[in-house]
């Protein structure tokens, strides 16, 4: 009996989770109140205690293997995907395309990668065994349930993103690095640590590093890569895979790129080898910065909500001019060479916030409705005459609610967990948003006072407010938040919230790369304009074919012309 026949589970006949072996999940509602609180707390804990929970030094006890992917006849195909573990429709659409024997991209027939690299954030919103099962491993197993009928079994390597780190990397190591010759569907996992080095054909190497929230590179990891670098020579070239596009983040936070610069400068540069390509996920779009020496590619379109491209700077300097790293490394200009989605389409996506915010995040509308109800009731108490007595002009509950509303709006403009500096625009936009919400509360109070509910006996007025006023004002206030997000996004503020609140599943992307026998590496950026939403089981499919098929064909195209590196 073949290896595939031994390991491939039975094909499901329906989309029932009991048959699939996992539960297809809906997209994460990123502005849900409990999720905002949970993610904020986890981010804060990771920042405060990340060094104490860091498992990278412990990985020194695991084998430090250096891998080899020789390809076939000196050629190799590599797929790259990142930020993939969100809702089933988007995640599985990308997984399905990656799993097909070949893709027709604008007339080019490109075979499936013999290596699949996952570039971080394989699960959302936080890492756990069940989350990985439902949002990552399950969909990818359904897409490629066993070894292909022909050809070698593809290999999978993965690095950790910030969401993989929220449990201290425990679930990530169990899935990707715990067992020798493990598997995720038809892909074989070989790595033993959260980072890897593998030799590729024609003098190319693939290094994937683990920065742990961009903090630093631990000594065992540096020793591992220094050992791998002993095999490099002046004619070799390294594709470096990192968790985040720190070259872009360094525009706001100049120190963000320091760890990557240190790694290249101290580990790779002494060997004489070059780094013509650095790839990252984390930002959920495709963007490429280029100069004659290097390509800096962001490709985080594996399944998570779309992140905009229209506010990307047209030119950046790497390392940035106002960081100490530039004293050790030359600061070079990079021009924005290509993006997906295109800036105009990205800008149009922003306007969808009005319809998608309350639809995708009903809990957020409930939260702001509750806030406005608690703000309206003390306002009514201040101005409403009850018999012969008149309430005081000012009350402590009203003062508290005003402080909560305005303070919350200011914090929302620049959350404490967000990277980069707080500028004047964050304060001005936050205060403007806060006062706009207060003005809406005053208008709501004025309208409520003209209704008969205020004269009802206690406790009927607050009950009526909760049942009638809360839902209506919650919807209106969420539209005001949407207006704020659209305006703030024009100034580069709350861009993440503008798009996270929409949870846009379309406009996904991944990379397919080819190393030819003559040593050239060609990058094919793959764009998926529309993900699938209607699926059907494929119980009678051939061995190695997908368990779940789209009812309508998925279409992929090139996001831009192929990029050739030598």
Mean pLDDT over each residue of the chain, to the nearest integer: 88
pLDDT in tens, 512-546: 999 999 999 999 999 999 999 999 999 998 888 99
Choose the most confident range, by mean pLDDT, from 207-216, 353-362, 458-467. Answer: 353-362
Tell whether the model's pLDDT for residue 430 goes beyond 90.
Answer: yes
At residue 494, does pLDDT exceed 50? yes
- Residue 140 CA to chain centroid, in angstroms? 17
For 58-100, write each residue's pLDDT tens digit. Answer: 666 677 789 999 999 899 999 999 999 899 999 999 999 999 9
Tell me, yes or no, whether 253 lies in a domain.
yes
Query: Is residue 1 scored above 60 in pLDDT?
Result: no
**C-beta contacts of 350-354 below 8 A and 24+ residues apart:** 350/308, 350/310, 350/486, 350/489, 350/498, 350/499, 351/486, 352/502, 352/504, 353/482, 353/485, 353/486, 353/498, 353/501, 353/502, 354/479, 354/482, 354/483
Could you write out the DSSP letters of every residue in 554-565? Answer: ---EESSS-EEE
Q: What is the pLDDT of residue 252?
A: 85
On whether both 316 and 368 belong to a single domain, the answer is no
Residue 204 confidence (pLDDT) above 70: yes
Confidence of residue 458 (pLDDT cuts 50, 70, 90): confident
The answer as to whether 16 is a domain residue is no
Q: Domain ends where: 482, 501, 520?
A: 501
Is pLDDT larger for residue 281 or for residue 254?
A: 281
Query: Do 377 and 271 fall within a single domain?
Result: no
116-125, 312-321, 384-393, 449-458: which has the minimum mean pLDDT?
Answer: 384-393
Instruction: List Cβ neighbours of 511 (8 Å cut-off, separation of 6 or more).
Output: 78, 79, 80, 81, 279, 297, 299, 523, 524, 525, 526
Give the pLDDT mean for 161-179: 83
Q: Is there a contact between 262 and 325 (Cβ–Cβ < 8 Å)? A: yes
501, 526, 556 - which closes a domain? 501
3-class secondary-structure state, position 113: coil
Residue 4 lies in a domain: no
List the domain range (segments joined by +) for residue 188. Answer: 23-341+507-565
305 lies in the same domain as 393:
no
Whether 349 is in a domain gets the answer: no
Assess whether 180 and 296 both reside in one domain. Answer: yes
Whether 238 and 288 map to the same domain: the answer is yes
Does residue 529 form part of some domain?
Answer: yes
**In the chain, % of residues over pLDDT 70:** 89
Is there a single domain that holds both residue 250 and residue 290? yes
Q: Which of 485, 501, 517 is the last residue of a domain?
A: 501
Residue bearing the bigger pLDDT, 538 or 180: 538
Same domain, residue pair 128 and 224: yes
How many domains is the chain built from?
A: 2
Please name the helix (run of DSSP H) or strand (run of DSSP E) that holds residue 274, with its range, or none. strand 274-280
Please report the pLDDT score of residue 60 as a whole number.
Answer: 64
Longest dimension (CA), the chain: 95
Range 313-323 average pLDDT? 90
Structural domain contains residue 551:
yes
80 lies in the same domain as 219 = yes
pLDDT at 474 over 70: yes
Q: At 193, is the secondary structure helix, strand, or coil?
A: coil
Judgement on whether residues 396 and 484 belong to the same structural domain of the protein: yes
Inform me whether the pLDDT recorded for 349 exceeds 70: yes
> Does the pLDDT at position 421 exceed 80?
no
- Looking at the predicted structure, is the pLDDT value of residue 492 above 80? yes
CATH number of the domain bearing residue 215: 3.60.21.10
In a domain, 1, yes or no: no
Same-domain check for residues 235 and 145: yes
> What per-residue confidence (pLDDT) applies to 163?
86
Q: Are 144 and 99 in contact (CB under 8 A)?
A: yes
In a domain, 29, yes or no: yes
* Whether residues 542 and 428 fall in one domain: no
Same domain, yes or no: 492 and 511: no
pLDDT tier, 416 (very low <50, low <70, confident <90, very high otherwise): low
């Amino acid at each position: 009996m073949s290896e595939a026949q031994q390991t491939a589970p039975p094909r499901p006949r329906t989309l029932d989770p009991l048959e699939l072996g996992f539960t297809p999940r809906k997209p994460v509602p990123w502005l849900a109140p409990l999720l905002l609180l949970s993610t904020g707390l986890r981010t804060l804990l990771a920042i405060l205690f990340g060094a104490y929970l860091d498992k990278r030094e412990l990985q020194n006890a695991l084998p430090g293997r250096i891998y080899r992917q020789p390809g076939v006849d000196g050629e190799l195909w590599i797929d790259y995907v990142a930020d993939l573990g969100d809702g089933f429709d988007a995640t599985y659409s990308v997984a399905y395309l990656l799993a097909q024997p070949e893709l027709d991209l604008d007339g080019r027939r490109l075979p499936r990668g013999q290596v699949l690299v996952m570039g971080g954030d394989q699960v959302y919103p936080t890492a756990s065994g069940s989350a990985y099962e439902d949002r990552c491993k399950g969909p990818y197993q359904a897409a490629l349930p066993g070894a292909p009928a022909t050809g070698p079994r593809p290999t999978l390597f993965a690095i950790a993103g910030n969401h993989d780190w929220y449990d201290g990397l425990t679930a990530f190591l169990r899935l990707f690095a715990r067992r020798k010759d493990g598997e995720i569907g038809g892909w074989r996992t070989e790595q033993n640590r959260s980072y890897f080095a593998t030799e590729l054909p024609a003098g190319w190497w693939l290094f994937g590093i683990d920065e742990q929230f961009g903090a630093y590179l631990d000594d065992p990891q540096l020793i591992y890569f220094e050992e791998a670098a002993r095999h490099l020579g002046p004619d070799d070239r390294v594709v470096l895979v990192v968790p985040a596009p720190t070259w872009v983040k360094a525009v706001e936070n100049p120190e963000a790129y320091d760890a990557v610069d240190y790694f290249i400068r101290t580990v790779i540069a002494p060997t004489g080898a070059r780094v013509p390509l650095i790839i990252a996920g984390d930002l959920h779009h495709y963007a490429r910065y280029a100069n004659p020496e290097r390509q800096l590619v962001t490709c985080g379109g594996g399944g998570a909500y779309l992140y905009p491209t229209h506010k990307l700077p047209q030119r950046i300097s790497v390392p940035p001019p106002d960081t100490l790293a530039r004293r050790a490394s030359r600061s070079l200009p990079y021009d924005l060479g290509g993006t997906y989605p295109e800036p105009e389409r990205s800008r149009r996506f922003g306007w969808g916030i009005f319809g998608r915010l309350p639809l995708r995040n009903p809990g957020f509308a409930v939260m702001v409705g509750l806030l406005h109800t608690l703000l309206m009731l003390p306002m009514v108490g201040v101005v409403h005459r009850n018999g012969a007595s008149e309430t005081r002009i000012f009350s402590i509950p009203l003062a508290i609610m005003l402080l909560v509303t305005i303070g919350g709006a200011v914090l929302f403009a620049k959350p404490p967990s967000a990277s980069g500096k707080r500028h004047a625009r964050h304060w001005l936009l936050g205060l403007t948003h806060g006062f706009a919400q207060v003005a809406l509360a005053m208008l709501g109070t004025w309208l409520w006072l003209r209704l008969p509910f205020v004269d009802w006996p206690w406790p009927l007025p607050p009950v009526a407010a909760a049942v009638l006023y809360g839902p209506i004002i919650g919807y209106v206030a969420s539209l005001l938040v949407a207006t704020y997000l659209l305006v703030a996004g024009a100034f580069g503020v709350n861009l993440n919230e503008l798009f996270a609140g929409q949870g846009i599943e379309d406009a996904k992307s991944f990379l397919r790369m080819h190393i030819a026998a003559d040593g050239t590496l060609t990058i094919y950026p793959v764009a998926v304009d529309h993900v699938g939403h209607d699926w059907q089981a494929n119980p009678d499919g051939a061995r190695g074919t997908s368990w779940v098929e789209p009812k309508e064909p998925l279409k992929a195209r090139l996001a831009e012309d192929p990029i050739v590196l030598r």
